[in-house]
Structure 1
Amino acid sequence: MGRTQRLRRRQASESTTVDAHKQNSLQALYVQLHAQGWQNSTQLSAHSYVQTGRGLCSKRRSFVAGDELIRLPVECLISIATLEADQAFKGLFNKDLFDKDARISFQALIACYLMHQKHLHDCSQSSHIGVYLDTLPRSYTTPYFCTIPELQCLPESVLERTVAQNRQIRDYYEILKTLVGSQYCEGCGQRYCQEIWSLAEYRVAYFAVNTRSVYLNARLLKLQSSKSHFQPLLSGNTNLALAPFLDLFNHSDAVQTTAEIQGQDYVVTLNGLPIPEVKPYDQLYISYGALTNFKLLTEYGFWLKGNAHDYFEVSLLDIEHMIKLNKTLATQTYHRNIFKFIREHNLCDQMFVHLDDGCSHNLRVVLHLIFKQQAYFPNLLNQIAFGDVDQFDDVQPELAYLVAHKIREYQIFAGELDKLPQLTESGAVARSYLMECVRYLNNFEAAHCASVSDFHNKE
């Protein structure tokens, strides 16, 4: 029996208990939301789907473009207004300790709030969002939660993003630890951030917010006080919230939706569909935005096959690696001034290939400067880089080399993952993402790289 089959069998054996728990939790959430004024006018129900897991549908009605998907009272949202109204939570934060050089994002603060409420829920069942907490996933599938051996098998772009996330989360946790770590919980007598809030728990809470929050204009919220307690602590805006039940909507690149506060309600409207209508029991989707698969993977823990918004980014380091591994290119001389010029002028930003649009302008410029120009003085490079765009159309061979290099590289990464005894769910999602990248690049190669087989043979 293969690894995938074993994983599916183990998951199937656990699914009955998990599904029963989820159903009970959702039922309790329905009751609470109705008590807060939610009418469920669009008759939504949670349902399990093969491709996405839990999602939302209507068992009774169809939806067409222009229909309202959900109207959830603003009171049901967990927003800046919620935190500002929670006196016990605010009491944990002494404003005299706030440091303008040690601020946190609002996402980081909501993650702390989730930990606070979870402790209340576990300790005394006194959390007012306890039923919502019971509906949240217990784990997430972003590369951040891959094991060290799995991370060592992933591309540098994914590793860099994961390292940046880890650094940011640790920094936020340390700030929170400084602010509230020495305080004691009145219920259990333990200290926050010392004995109650662990870094591991904060990581899960952070990604709960990262993967499940919605956008809203915080200026439209009615705060109980005109003076914000948390404003001196926060960097950036507070334009996000957790939306119980609404966060069960999954993302599709093929739909268009809008979300806005209308009076006392947060309303999501279906603006565009790839089909005439969504029938009863068919899954209803919303749009998280025009996101690439890289963004979906690293922020949300999934990717979409044939994602309409996808493109494949490359870095200057990718080109340098390609030169070292390519027999034809490795024999040539490349002046360091060229690479310095590219970095100083940010030409290595926005380098990507797109299945429909081809090679990005910056990637063409960079390939042209490195492989087609002998000049290396800055004034000459400046004239070339920002001159006639038609001159950059001579980089097809090098583009083909680069695409072929990335295909082989991602195949090797996937092969290294296959050598591991077992993959976590995050590792399995990451591996499937690698193969989707290979599929995408193969399609790009076929559509945009002429005589690719000739270039392959030279390597």
Structure 2
Amino acid sequence: MGRLQRKRKRKWKKGVVEDGDSVCSKLVQWMGEKDCALPDNIRWAYFNDTGRGLFSTTYLQKDSLLIRLPKRLLITVHTVLQSCIGNWFCRADHSQAFSNQQVLAAFITWERHLGHESRWDAYIRSLPREYTTPLMLSGREKAALPTYLRDGVHVQERMVVEAYKQLVSTIGKRSLCEHCGKSLLADVFSFPSFQWAWNTVNTRAVYVKPTTSAVKLRDENTLALAPFLDLFNHSCLTNTTVEETAEAYCLFSSGEWQPNSQVFISYGPHSNCKLYLEYGFVVRSNPHDVVPVTAEEVDQVVNSICEVTSKTFCKARNELIQQNRLTENLCFSNEGPSFTLQAYIFLRAACGFDKNLFQQKIFAYEFTEVERDIINKIILGLLCDKIEDYQQQVSSMSQLSPCSESFGLARTLVKYHLELLECIHKKLFMVK
């Protein structure tokens, strides 16, 4: 879940490495004191490949209950409203709405500063001290990223900076903390502290049924932090079923798990770009992975291969492209070029123009042999260009040393994308 694996003393046992500290033990003890009975067969450990996670000491059959977490142990906006900072978000003079993630991040920042006096201290101490999301990249590392990753990082940065600025405005003239006497902004709600809390919510929150709130939110009230449950790691090859009642949040396994094997859940069918930007990790052979393509990249190849059409035809084509949103989801996946990529290539490269006929062709996916040859020729050119570009990117990123773990993950992601492009090229165009 975007957590940085910490090095500790470890003890080998049946393929898992048990944690040598008491953080998780204290978390389990705390949850027991809150009348939350965790399954006896689900335990925490360190694994060589994924770091901290959960495993089962017994065989788990399909649809087994993994965890039943009482609603009172979920950290939600309602939890924040019951705390001493809840009134900050309910003042009548707020002209702007808050985001769900922003409110939870502010609460985690506050509770972390309370230390042992926080009701949530055992949970907060179980959280990672650092994260590997791209928010942790240095300036030179961000500059070394390929454009498609750098743009995504900038979006993440703008979100957290704008959320922090609004929080600072909300705190206003409250210069000193009533709890410790320190500066609220410089010491308690410093930007690094808030960014850590933002990463915590972003990488670990679960979705719950939307509820109404006294806080004016600009998104649905659907996020919650779930102690212990957030120790489950992600796998692309499994799924989980959620059952939410008025009293509890329950998680069920959709597959079978052998004794002493790590139990995974799915965070969703996410590409590696999504996993890296949101959670701070990537997955080799991710079946949901895609390599993005821009319309400009396609246009460049089309213009180098095909004759330029008249302005009248270009305008009509562009209207059809925009009406059908064919500049979205331009990518290569494990299945090859996406439908929209092929449709966009056809509309940019085909001779003549008949709106009704062209629309029928792209939706029925029926092209003549000549049209298919043109599309394949452009796809080949596009693949060759992107393979060359990604090879240069990998080489350039490898020169940056020393680097953060987050940048190392970005470099690995680009390598995975290069491998995917080369695999597609081999599958589609190499002579057998």
TM-score (norm 1): 0.82
5+ unaligned residues in a row in structure 2: which ranges? 11-16
Q: Aligned pair in 2 of structure 1 residues 332, 23: CA closer, same or farther (>3 Å)?
A: farther
Helix, strand or coil at the partner of 1:299: helix
Query: C-alpha separation between the residues in 2 aligned to 1:146 and 1:440?
Result: 25
Paired position in structure 2 for 1:143: 134
Q: Which amino acid aligns with 2:164?
A: Y
Paired position in structure 1 for 2:392: 412
Q: Which amino acid aligns with 1:64?
A: Q
TM-superposition CA deviations, 1:81-102 (whole Å, max 9, x none): 312222x121334512211xx2
Paired position in structure 2 for 1:51: 49
Query: C-alpha separation between the residues in 1 aligned to 2:80 and 2:150?
Result: 33
5+ unaligned residues in a row in structure 1: which ranges? 1-10, 220-226, 453-459
TM-superposition CA deviations, 1:306-351 (whole Å, max 9, x none): 1122232211133245569xxx54x964767468547643321021
TM-superposition CA deviations, 1:338-381 (whole Å, max 9, x none): 6854764332102122323x3222211221232333x5xxxx47
Q: Which amino acid aligns with 1:286?
A: I
Paired position in structure 2 for 1:393: 372
After TM superposition, list the pairs within 5 Å mapping 1:88-127 onto structure 2: 88-93=84-89, 95-99=91-95, 102-121=96-115, 125-127=116-118
Q: Does 1:190 align with 2:186?
A: no
- Of all paired residues, the percent bearing the same amino acid is 26
TM-superposition CA deviations, 1:272-324 (whole Å, max 9, x none): x3xxx322221000111111111111111112111122232211133245569
Q: Which amino acid aligns with 1:196?
A: V
TM-superposition CA deviations, 1:429-449 (whole Å, max 9, x none): 111111111111111112223
CA drift of 1:104 comes to 2.3
Helix, strand or coil at the partner of 1:387: helix
Range 112-121 or range 149-158, more displaced: 149-158
Helix, strand or coil at the partner of 1:72: strand
Paired position in structure 2 for 1:132: 123
Number of residue equivalences: 410
Paired position in structure 2 for 1:155: 146
Say which of 147, 171, 192 aligns to 1:200. Answer: 192
| Aligned residues: CA RMSD | 2.7
Q: Does 1:294 align with 2:270?
A: no
CA drift of 1:262 comes to 3.3
TM-superposition CA deviations, 1:9-59 (whole Å, max 9, x none): xx99x5349x99973211111111001112122521111111111110023
Helix, strand or coil at the partner of 1:390: coil
Query: C-alpha separation between the residues in 2 aligned to 1:205 and 1:22?
Result: 25
Q: Which amino acid aligns with 1:48?
A: Y
Q: Aligned pair in 2 of structure 1 residues 343, 16: CA closer, same or farther (>3 Å)?
A: farther
Paired position in structure 2 for 1:347: 326
Q: Aligned pair in 2 of structure 1 residues 40, 174: CA closer, same or farther (>3 Å)?
A: same
CA drift of 1:186 comes to 0.5
Q: Does 1:421 align with 2:401?
A: yes
Q: Does 1:27 align with 2:25?
A: yes
Q: Does 1:80 align with 2:77?
A: yes
Q: Aligned pair in 2 of structure 1 residues 342, 132: CA closer, same or farther (>3 Å)?
A: farther
Query: C-alpha separation between the residues in 2 aligned to 1:94 and 1:254?
Result: 43
Query: C-alpha separation between the residues in 2 aligned to 1:247 and 1:414?
Result: 33
CA drift of 1:450 comes to 5.5
Paired position in structure 1 for 2:417: 437
TM-score (norm 2): 0.87
Query: C-alpha separation between the residues in 2 aligned to 1:305 and 1:268?
Result: 26
Q: Aligned pair in 2 of structure 1 residues 343, 181: CA closer, same or farther (>3 Å)?
A: farther
Q: Aligned pair in 2 of structure 1 residues 39, 252: CA closer, same or farther (>3 Å)?
A: same
CA drift of 1:266 comes to 1.3
Q: Aligned pair in 2 of structure 1 residues 70, 50: CA closer, same or farther (>3 Å)?
A: same
CA drift of 1:63 comes to 0.8
TM-superposition CA deviations, 1:112-163 (whole Å, max 9, x none): 1111111111xxx311111111111122112232222222222222111111
Q: Which amino acid aligns with 2:27?
A: L
Q: Is the 8 A contact 2:390 2:414 kept in 1?
A: yes
Paired position in structure 2 for 1:6: none
Helix, strand or coil at the partner of 1:428: helix
